[in-house]
Amino acid sequence: MDALSSPFRTWNGVGAHELFEGVTIHAIGGEQVLMCRVTYAPGSVVPLHDHPEAEQLIYITGGEVTVTIGEGTRTLVAGDVAVVNRGVPHALTSPEGCSFIEALSPVPQDHIPDFERDMVLGAQGDSLHVER
């Protein structure tokens, strides 16, 4: 079994993908969920947006980030979590930089840096994925 057909992968030695200016990700996903390691450089801002068909969970691992979800805003630090239901507008800012793990379901294809390297698909393939 070659490395790309294996269910075991690594981010070691893999360059991060810039999703937005100052925001980089490593991603791994399957048929139904995508997990990303996200890093915000100091001063990074992701403006108000939504994921019409995907729910997003965020687990802060370092630094701090101010997150607006719908009408609420809170500054999150390591150990904090947030849930962004599908279609809910949200924005993130990190004056000092931060890191977090996020999970999105169903898989939004615009968050996949390299489909061959970053996806482990079974019999359903990418039929459950959504486009942005």
Q: Looking at residue 99, what is its pLDDT?
A: 98
Q: Looking at residue 50, what is its pLDDT?
A: 96
Q: Looking at residue 101, what is its pLDDT?
A: 98
Question: What whole-number distance in Å separates Cα of residue 7 and Cα of residue 51?
Answer: 27
Q: Looking at residue 5, what is its pLDDT?
A: 75
pTM confidence score: 0.93
Domain membership of residue 5 (yes or no) is no
Domain membership of residue 18 (yes or no) is no
Buried residues in 99-128 as b, exposed as e (16+ CB within 10 A): bbebebbbbbeebbbeeeebbeeeeeebee
Q: Looking at residue 61, what is its pLDDT?
A: 98
**Structural domain containing residue 90:** 27-110
Record the tokens describing residue 4, joined without a space.
Answer: 């790309």
Domain membership of residue 14 (yes or no) is no
Domain tally for the chain? 1
CATH of the domain at 72: 2.60.120.10
Domain membership of residue 20 (yes or no) is no
Q: What is the mean pLDDT of each run of 10 residues along the chain (132 residues)?
A: 80 96 97 98 97 97 98 98 98 98 96 94 94 72
- Per-residue DSSP letters for 7-69? S----TTPPPEEEETTEEEEEEE-SS-EEEEEEE-TTEEEEEE--TT-EEEEEEEEEEEEEEE
Q: Looking at residue 131, what is its pLDDT?
A: 84
Domain membership of residue 65 (yes or no) is yes
